[in-house]
A = this chain, B = another copy of it.
Amino acid sequence: MVVSLRLPSLTSLFSPSARRSPASFRQFYLRPPFSAGFTAQSKASSPAETDDRVASQKNRVNQDRVITPRSQDFNAWYLDVIANAELADYGPVRGTMVIRPYGYAIWEAIQDYLNVKFKETGHSNMYFPQFIPYSFIEKEASHVEGFSPELALVTVGGGKELEEKLVVRPTSETIVNHMFTQWIHSYRDLPLMINQWANVTRWEMRTKPFVRTLEFLWQEGHTAHATPEEAEKEAMQMIDIYTKFAYEQAAIPVIVGRKSKVETFAGADKTYTIEAMMGDRKALQAGTSHDLGQNFSRAFGTQFTDENGERQHVWQTSWAISTRFVGGIIMTHGDDNGLMLPPKLAPIQVIIVPIWKKADEKTGVLTAALSVKGVLQTAGLKVKLDDSDQRTPGWKFNFWEMKGVPLRIEIGPRDVSSGSVVISRRDVPGKEGKVFGISMEPSILEAYVKDKLDEIQSSLLGRATSFRDSNIVDVGSYSELKEAISLGKWARGPWSASDADELRVKEETGATIRCFPFDQPLGIKTCLMTGKPAEEVAIFAKSY
């Protein structure tokens, strides 16, 4: 069943709708450019807002906006959700994105969790300059090959043409190694384990908000070790932290594994990845951890004196998660009604909607609502009271559902009398997700709400896991693989064929090897392409 959810424009949310002339409104104009594609150049020139005639003409446009049903057009749905939930907006430069407060708050929740984990595992935050001499990028052969098509270059500084053009960092391995050579001397300086939260720039041609933008925010960890074993252990530790984060915080049942050689990071020996299945069954690479071996240390001469007095090149790792992960959350959990946020990362976990009809009911209801808010806030929950009188309760229900708030508490005059509230779950629509008569008594209410939030967190993970598992097909031959991919599914099958074969699969089906999952089936395996013995199964899928 496909239904369009009609929502008033976000503009009109903050405007009194009754007494105002149409000329006092302006259309948000968010949806048309988003639907027209993020890659389209948005106008950098100033809009003609200073001309009041133009403004008033624009104002006559219909206020209501529609979220395209997810089942109808996944991409349009995604862009509509981002616009309507005010997660992000276009920047003036093609492919750039403004992360709005509600979207940024999700990123902050991701940061808060990971930052603690990084420090617990012995990493220190620091900051490297974003301008990298062009010559640095050229030092590691596969690195320059991988990144040079995507570089933004600063050629003028302070009004003068620069002698050496500067790269705006696409990633920092090169400058990190340049500095490591100055800090690492003896084996006693190792391991050196650092992280930075930063912006990075990649001149992408096909962009999409959060998923692939010209500039994005991320963290990049960089470590140096005395032995290959330690570097490998570190790379594994970090992909493990990402995996736990995805499951436990984002409720995304990622598949963790090793990239094929073709898909390995430019400059790495091995790349580990967490791959998430989006609602349209495309894969999203949601985080990576690289065992860099000695590739960068040899290119930059990052050496240490070992316990025997011998000079050795260090063994390195790097690992990153970016604002792309926010896109992954949207596309994993969202539905036709909009966003659906996992409670642990939701900027607002509980929305309280007070309901009154007569003026004399208002005070009692608002007093009760404020008290409930206080109780939950004291309990450490992120709670908001929507007490505006510009909108009906029904409108607010839709609006906060669209914003993905996990729990809604409704309080009307009858609830005030009975000392109870009504609680609705975002993940269970309609009456089924609604429970009446939950006591306002603080300890009971707090326990109930926390319990429900945990239930929603688990439920989201469970649902996404079922969806994932029902969309992965075990294949034993190339024709089975092709069929699975053509049905939009992920194909899992034994693989020991060549890089050329892997590229052929990509050309013929659009699917790539997402990873060789760590979790491997037992038994003898035969390569689906060549019929020769295979050690591992690989997962193939179309991806973002």
- A residues whose Cβ falls under 8 Å from a Cβ of B: 11, 14-16, 20-21, 23-26, 28-30, 44-50, 52, 55, 89, 91-93, 96-101, 103-105, 107-108, 124-133, 135-136, 139, 148-159, 164-166, 168, 175, 178-179, 181-183, 185-186, 188-189, 194, 198-199, 201, 203-205, 214-215, 217, 300-303, 305, 309, 311, 390
Contacts and interface: CB of A to CB of B under 8 A. Distances in A.
B93 A217 contact: no
Contacts of A311: 52, 55
A390 B47 CA distance: 66
A208 to B, nearest CB: 15
Given A26-B185, A104-B126, A303 B50 contact: yes
A92 B182 contact: no
Contacts of A26: 185, 305
Given A99-B126, A135-B44, A205 B28 contact: no
Contact of A92 (B96, B100, B178): B178
Given A11-B189, A151-B158, A152-B154, 20 more contacts: A11-B185, A14-B185, A14-B188, A24-B305, A25-B305, A47-B182, A49-B301, A91-B131, A93-B131, A93-B132, A99-B127, A101-B126, A130-B199, A130-B215, A131-B215, A152-B156, A153-B155, A153-B156, A154-B154, A158-B204
Contact of A214 (B131, B132, B159, B198): B131
A224 to B, nearest CB: 13
**Residue of A105, A129, A150 ringed by the most chain B CB atoms within 10 A:** A129
A61 to B, nearest CB: 12
Nearest to A16: B188
Given A135-B44, A178-B46, A178-B92, A125 B108 contact: yes
Which DSSP category, helix, strand, loop or mixed, fits chain A's interface?
Answer: mixed
Contact of A11 (B165, B186, B205, B302): B186
A133 to B, nearest CB: 4
Given A44-B133, A135-B44, A181 B49 contact: yes
B149 A45 contact: no
B127 A104 contact: yes
A129 B30 CA distance: 18
A129 B166 contact: no
Contacts of A103: 126
B153 A96 contact: no
29 contacts: A11-B185, A11-B189, A15-B186, A20-B309, A23-B309, A25-B186, A26-B185, A28-B182, A44-B164, A46-B178, A46-B300, A47-B301, A49-B181, A89-B179, A89-B182, A91-B129, A91-B131, A93-B132, A96-B129, A98-B128, A99-B127, A101-B124, A104-B126, A107-B127, A131-B201, A152-B157, A153-B156, A158-B203, A188-B390
B125 A101 contact: yes
**Residue of A46, A159, A199 ringed by the most chain B CB atoms within 10 A:** A46
Nearest to A125: B104
Nearest to A299: B46
A510 to B, nearest CB: 23
Nearest to A20: B309
A182 B131 CA distance: 31
A194 B101 contact: yes
B132 A92 contact: yes
B158 A93 contact: no
A300 to B, nearest CB: 6
Contacts of A101: 124-126, 194
Contact of A47 (B16, B132, B181): B181
A182 B86 CA distance: 12
B55 A217 contact: no
Contacts of A300: 46
A328 B45 CA distance: 40
Nearest to A298: B50
Contacts of A194: 101
Contact of A45 (B96, B97, B127, B135): B135
B98 A129 contact: yes
A471 B100 CA distance: 46
Nearest to A308: B24
A46 B301 contact: yes
A201 B156 CA distance: 12
A506 to B, nearest CB: 22
A154 B153 contact: yes
